[in-house]
């Protein structure tokens, strides 16, 4: 946890980050006073502190307290900011083995693999940097080709156009990540058990039940209810208070 405290210091200006509070929380965590450490982190979250390491630490604390749903929620939040972190991936895998609901995924395997293996390989910032870099290389190649012989032009111009297309794809990947970050696309069930209903009404028909730690996609949301969708295609309405939004 000490390394992650250091990461928090790097990610926030020293004048804005309550370093003493973080050190105090780390000390309490190491002393196994997890509830006291949680109180400090929750207060900091209410004040608006956000970062991958910050959420990762919150996930660790909730896991130690046996709050599997909230542990998964904060690990998922950390994963959005640090998609390639192996510790987050490992902890999420461990947490999901402790959940009750095991939902079969209907999404095409190759599509799912592409999303996880390609789009989420880098952050939106890194995709943006790659896009700008590839655009620059493309512009250089196209400019040089205009001053060379026909033979070289026939090689460099297609190469420059191809790199430009790749640059556009990188831009699209970054845009997808930005959109995912700015909307509440997924949520984690925080209650021990919830009833998924056919309509957003108190006495509507119960279609099925879900348990703590299940991850759901948000299709629609109003002030009280959300329409959720499971990986197997099942849908229904649940109360927002029963969910933690990623």
- What's the CATH code of the domain at 200? 2.30.30.40
Q: Are strands 243-245 and 186-189 parallel, antiparallel or unpaired?
A: antiparallel
The pLDDT score that the predictor gives to residue 239 is: 96
CA distance 136 to 167: 9
Instruction: Give the SS3 label for residue 187.
Output: strand
Domain count, the chain: 3
* CB neighbour class for 201 (10 Å; exposed up to 12, middle 13-18, buried from 19): exposed
Q: Let me know whether 92 and 114 are in one domain.
A: no
The pLDDT score that the predictor gives to residue 12 is: 44
Q: Among residues 146, 171, 196, which one ends one of the domains?
A: 171
Residue 125: CB atoms within 10 A of its CB come to 11
pLDDT tier, 103 (very low <50, low <70, confident <90, very high otherwise): low
Q: Let me know whether 191 and 235 are in one domain.
A: yes
**Does residue 181 fall inside a structural domain?**
no
Q: Are 161 and 138 in contact (CB under 8 A)?
A: yes
Closest of 12, 41, 8 to residue 24, by C-alpha:
41
CA distance 138 to 82: 29
Q: Greatest CA separation found in the chain?
A: 77
Instruction: Specify the higher pLDDT residue, 83 or 141.
Output: 141
Q: Are strands 193-197 and 225-229 parallel, antiparallel or unpaired?
A: unpaired
Q: Cα separations (Å) of 119 from 130, 165, 180?
A: 13, 16, 11
Q: Among residues 71, 96, 121, which one ends one of the domains?
A: 96
CA distance 41 to 178: 26
The pLDDT score that the predictor gives to residue 111 is: 53
Q: Among residues 139, 171, 203, which one ends one of the domains?
A: 171
pLDDT, tens digit, 9 for 90 and up, residues 208-237: 999 999 999 999 999 999 999 998 889 999
The pLDDT score that the predictor gives to residue 9 is: 45
pLDDT, tens digit, 9 for 90 and up, residues 38-96: 999 999 998 888 888 899 999 999 999 999 999 999 999 998 888 778 999 999 999 99
Domain span at residue 35 reads 2-96
CA distance 29 to 36: 8
CATH number of the domain bearing residue 47 = 1.25.40.10
CA distance 139 to 162: 11
Lowest-confidence pick of 50-54, 116-120, 163-167, 171-175: 116-120
């Amino acid at each position: 946890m000490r390394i992650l405290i250091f990461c928090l210091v790097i990610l926030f200006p020293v004048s804005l980050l309550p370093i003493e509070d973080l050190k105090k929380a780390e000390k309490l965590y190491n002393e196994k006073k997890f509830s006291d450490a949680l109180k400090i982190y929750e207060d900091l979250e209410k004040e608006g502190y956000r970062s991958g390491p910050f959420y990762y630490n919150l996930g660790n604390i909730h896991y130690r307290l046996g709050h599997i749903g909230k542990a998964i929620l904060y690990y998922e939040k950390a994963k959005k900011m640090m998609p390639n972190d192996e510790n987050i991936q490992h902890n999420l895998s461990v947490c999901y083995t402790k959940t009750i609901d095991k939902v079969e995924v209907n999404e095409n395997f190759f599509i799912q693999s592409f999303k996880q293996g390609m789009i989420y390989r880098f952050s939106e910032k890194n995709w943006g940097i790659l896009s700008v870099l590839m655009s620059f290389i493309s512009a250089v190649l196209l400019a040089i080709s205009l001053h060379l012989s026909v033979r070289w032009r026939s090689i460099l111009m297609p190469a420059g156009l191809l790199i430009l297309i790749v640059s556009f794809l990188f831009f699209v990947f970054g845009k997808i990540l930005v959109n995912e970050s700015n909307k509440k696309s997924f949520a984690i069930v925080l209650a021990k058990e919830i009833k998924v209903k056919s309509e957003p009404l108190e006495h509507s028909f119960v279609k099925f039940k879900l348990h703590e730690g299940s991850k759901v996609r948000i299709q629609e949301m109003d002030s009280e209810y959300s329409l959720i969708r499971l990986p197997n295609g099942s849908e229904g309405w649940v109360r927002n208070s029963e969910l933690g939004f990623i």
